[in-house]
Amino acid sequence: MFKTTAEVGGMGHSIKRKEDLRFIQGKGNYVDDVNLPGMVYGQLVRSPYAHARLKRINTEHAKALAGVLAVITGEDLAKAGLAWMPTLSGDKQMVLATGKVLFQSQEVAFVVAEDRYTAADAAELVEVEYEELPVLVDPKKSLDPNAPILRDDREQKDNHIFHWEVGDRKGTEKAIQEAPVKAKVDAFFQRCHPAPLETCGCVADMNQATGRLTVYMTSQAPHAHRTLFALVGGIPENNIRVVSPDIGGGFGNKVPIYPGYVCAVVASLTLGVPVKWIETRSENLMSTGFARDYHMTAEISAEKSGKMTALRVKTLADHGAFNAAAQPTKFPAGLFSICTGSYDLPKAFCEVDGVYTNKAPGGIAYRCSFRVTEAAYLIERVVDVLANELKMDPVELRRKNFIPSTAFPYKSPLGWTYDSGDYDAAMKKALDKVGYRELRKEQEEKRKKGELMGIGVSSFTEIVGAGPSHLFDIAGIKMFDSCELRIHPTGKAICRMGTKSQGQGHETTYAQIVAQELGIPAADVTVEEGDTDTAPYGLGTYASRSTPVSGAATAVAARKIRDKAKKIAAHLLEASEEDLEWEPGKFFVKGAPGKAKTIQEIAFAAYTNHPQGLEAGLEAVDYYDPPNLTFPFGTYICIVDIDKGTGEIKVRRFVAVDDCGNIINPMIVEGQIHGGLTEGLGIAFMQQIDYDENGNVQGGTFMDYLLPTAVETPNWETDKTTTPSPHHPLGAKGIGESPNVGSPAAFVNAVVDALSHLGVRHIDMPITPWKVWNILKEKGVTG
């Protein structure tokens, strides 16, 4: 690969993020910044009960309040055939409740008023009479034959959503039965929430004069949302424009369509004015796309030498009241079957059952390629339990079982073909950086003194970049992605994408790819995303798919342009194309470097002096359908010290060695890793959306659902290895989610390691000081 100058800023240059100029000045343009003439405001009325029959809704008092324009109920929507909407998982979900409510904070009515405060006041005046029904919060109890049926709208009269399995059931069973060493862990990956700083919202603007609907919305997938609005709402797709302005964090939370969006559209269609709907923090935490909630059991077997022989995984997936997980259609449990991780396991079997409970719907891919975080956590936990069983160092056990770097492309027993990897190289780098041997010695010394110190290792493998379209679609739309690149006469460029950044720095990194391929300085390349009227069709940004898919599309589009530029250069230099050579930014005649035309000169000629018979202009589009996914990986090592008296855990050090193949912008990648690790820290130690037995949400505010601040966050020590993807045009793999995927196991393994000599083998997240203190008390370690 050519190395460009710092001025051009191609791959590998840590140029500053272009978008930050507006962000750090507070001049971003978020949905709530969109203010249109005549705009009015919507507010949802939500259920206080988790399961109740709707007896009566009285909207009269709300309607009577000055400034209130409309109150929409489920019955009103039913008349228009819009009381229910399809979910991304092939289920259906109530837009506004009819008949009964199924979770606390479910949407019951939508009040529209001239200002936000009146709308909020009027929502309080909507009188809803409920008759409480028995509540199911435990997914195991949902499967009880006598459990109340939550979804009586379905033909299937139970609470079971799906059973999905993959692998060799019998072979795995036999291998585990016959193995001399076995280990098992029951691990609950708790329900958590991406909690983006910007909540969800939209401004729906139905222009009755033109018949065009414009929806400004917090959407990670604007094109897919436009198509779904057209299919469900019956509005011709050419009359719908979805605009995603700046987004203040998505993390998967902004992939689904939520009832609030639909209500705002219906209200704008009805009233003929723009309608804004913006969630509050609690509404976001309580009702929109939760993540995880997987009750997992893993059994692993090995020979006495430590060579692993088989893995069996059984999972109960709590999907809440509607199956609204953002999953590719063929994969009801997402890419959970990556659960064999970095290990060469001869046999494996994995099964997942999805069930309904009285909880908010979701199951979104929170900074995660569809359940990869759950999978990585489980395998990295059970490997530690096995190491304990074998009385072997967890690092040694891992290294003994890594898929060797010579085995790639590697076919996993659960069906994936890993593109490339060198797990031992990442492990070695992490061990050296952290000083593993010395730390183990220190731990031994500390144990003698009764002090608690733990070392947690996680050597995870990911699967990102959905997807090859023969495998992946969401709601029937194939998962490719796109780039449209235009070079202007003066050699500057605009690049429009099917993806949508939510803070990942796309405006900078796509420009760097163009700079790499064409030698046009990244500063001269404008990147635009999020407007369906101008951007080419794409499936959006989530699951770290932007670099593997749209990044590839950008490189291919640029290469198409380079091919055409070569023809123009040959014409300008009066040479044959075969005699031309490329170096970043110019074509020159072989052996005569002085005879050259820069890309800027070529671009000008494309509009002013193009060869006869060749189309004018210099632009290209690429819809990239990746041949395979990419498999980033890494080794994380976490060191914790635990206070015996209080159970307080201090993360002393955290070393993260990541491998995402070739890197576009090292500084952005480092930022992605810092952010993801901080989220992982929150998940491991602080966060859970929990429910009491009546289905009341226990984590509905930032007082209960804690975000790590600078005070709790340790200094992240990052490093990298580079194993390019063999099938990606730039050799790049995704990175955004790796730190969120790989870190929870490192944190938990460290705490369990600190307590392992007391017989502790597993602790469920979030590992709070209270939990640890109780364990210490039970073990007689604390006073």
Of the ranges 238-246, 352-360, 602-610, 664-672, which one interacts with ligand CDP (CB under 6 A)? 664-672
Binding mask 103-142 for ligand CDP (x = CB under 6 A): ----------------------------------------
Q: Rounded to a whole number, what is the distance in angstroms from the first to the last CA of the chain? A: 62
Q: Does 555 bind ligand CDP (CB under 6 A)?
A: no
**Beta carbon nearer to ligand CDP, 78 or 667:** 667
DSSP state of 531: B
Instruction: Decide if 367 is catalytic.
Output: yes
Q: Does 546 bind ligand CDP (CB under 6 A)?
A: yes
Maximal CA-CA distance, the chain: 89
Q: State the minimum distance, in angstroms, from the CB of residue 388 to ligand CDP.
A: 34
Among 219, 227, 628, 665, binds ligand CDP (CB under 6 A): 665
Structural tokens at position 457: 């290792």
Q: Does 544 bind ligand CDP (CB under 6 A)?
A: yes
Among positions 6-25, residues that touch ligand CDP (CB under 6 A) are: none
Dump the DSSP string for 134-198.
-----HHHHTSTTSPPS-TTSSS-SSEEEEEEEE-HHHHHHHHHH-SEEEEEEEEEEEE----SS
**Beta carbon nearer to ligand CDP, 687 or 723:** 723
* Choice among 17, 191, 292, 367 that is catalytic: 367
d(CA 746, CA 505): 27
* Choice among 220, 327, 502, 687 that is catalytic: 220
Contact 201/276 with Cβ under 8 angstroms? yes
**Beta carbon nearer to ligand CDP, 443 or 509:** 509
Q: State the minimum distance, in angstroms, from the CB of residue 620 to ligand CDP.
A: 20
Of the ranges 102-110, 408-416, 665-673, 703-711, which one interacts with ligand CDP (CB under 6 A)? 665-673
d(CA 502, CA 590): 44
Q: State the minimum distance, in angstroms, from the CB of residue 668 to ligand CDP.
A: 5
Of the ranges 181-189, 265-273, 416-424, 658-666, which one interacts with ligand CDP (CB under 6 A)? 658-666
Q: Does 663 bind ligand CDP (CB under 6 A)?
A: yes
Give which of 200, 192, 204, 235 is closest to 220, Cα–Cα: 200
Give which of 334, 627, 607, 629 is closest to 487, Cα–Cα: 607
Burial tier of 154 (Cβ tally within 10 Å: 0-12, 13-18, 19+): middle
Cα separation values, 176 from 75, 306, 578, Å: 55, 14, 61
Beta bridge partners of 653: 639
Q: State the minimum distance, in angstroms, from the CB of residue 589 to ligand CDP.
A: 34
Burial 357-375 (b: 16+ CB within 10 A, else e): bbbbbbbbbbbbbbbbbbb
**Beta carbon nearer to ligand CDP, 353 or 719:** 719
d(CA 769, CA 283): 28
Among 668, 684, 752, 765, binds ligand CDP (CB under 6 A): 668
DSSP state of 550: I
Q: Does 504 bind ligand CDP (CB under 6 A)?
A: yes
Q: State the minimum distance, in angstroms, from the CB of residue 479 to ligand CDP.
A: 12
Binding mask 524-543 for ligand CDP (x = CB under 6 A): -----------------x--
CA 711 to chain centre: 26
Give which of 326, 281, 430 is closest to 89, Cα–Cα: 326
Contact 570/577 with Cβ under 8 angstroms? yes
Among 355, 511, 660, 775, binds ligand CDP (CB under 6 A): 660
Q: Over the Cα atoms of the chain, what is R_g? A: 27
Among 388, 482, 672, 749, binds ligand CDP (CB under 6 A): 672
Burial 188-214 (b: 16+ CB within 10 A, else e): bbbbbbbbbebbbbbbbbbeeeeebbb
3-state secondary structure of 124: helix
d(CA 428, CA 406): 17
d(CA 321, CA 93): 8
Of the ranges 22-30, 39-47, 190-198, 659-667, which one interacts with ligand CDP (CB under 6 A)? 659-667
* Choice among 368, 483, 495, 660 that is catalytic: 368
Beta bridge partners of 102: none
Q: State the minimum distance, in angstroms, from the CB of residue 663 to ligand CDP.
A: 4
**Beta carbon nearer to ligand CDP, 139 or 505:** 505
Binding mask 463-502 for ligand CDP (x = CB under 6 A): ----------------------------------------
**Beta carbon nearer to ligand CDP, 320 or 736:** 736
**Beta carbon nearer to ligand CDP, 284 or 504:** 504
Among 664, 673, 681, 746, binds ligand CDP (CB under 6 A): 664
d(CA 636, CA 714): 14
Per rule CB under 6 A, count of chain residues that contact ligand CDP: 22
Contact 108/52 with Cβ under 8 angstroms? no
Among 371, 488, 506, 564, binds ligand CDP (CB under 6 A): 506
Contact 302/393 with Cβ under 8 angstroms? no
d(CA 247, CA 630): 26
Q: Does 62 bind ligand CDP (CB under 6 A)?
A: no
Peptide bond before residue 99 is cis, with ω within 30 degrees of 0: no
Among 118, 358, 509, 635, binds ligand CDP (CB under 6 A): 509
Of the ranges 68-76, 262-270, 649-657, 668-676, which one interacts with ligand CDP (CB under 6 A)? 668-676
Among 227, 482, 547, 687, binds ligand CDP (CB under 6 A): 547
Among positions 709-738, residues that touch ligand CDP (CB under 6 A) are: 732-736
Instruction: Decide if 368 is catalytic.
Output: yes
Q: State the minimum distance, in angstroms, from the CB of residue 255 to ligand CDP.
A: 12
Binding site for ligand CDP (CB under 6 A): 504-506, 509, 541, 544-547, 660-661, 663-665, 668-669, 672, 732-736
List residues with catalytic annotation: 220, 367-368, 737
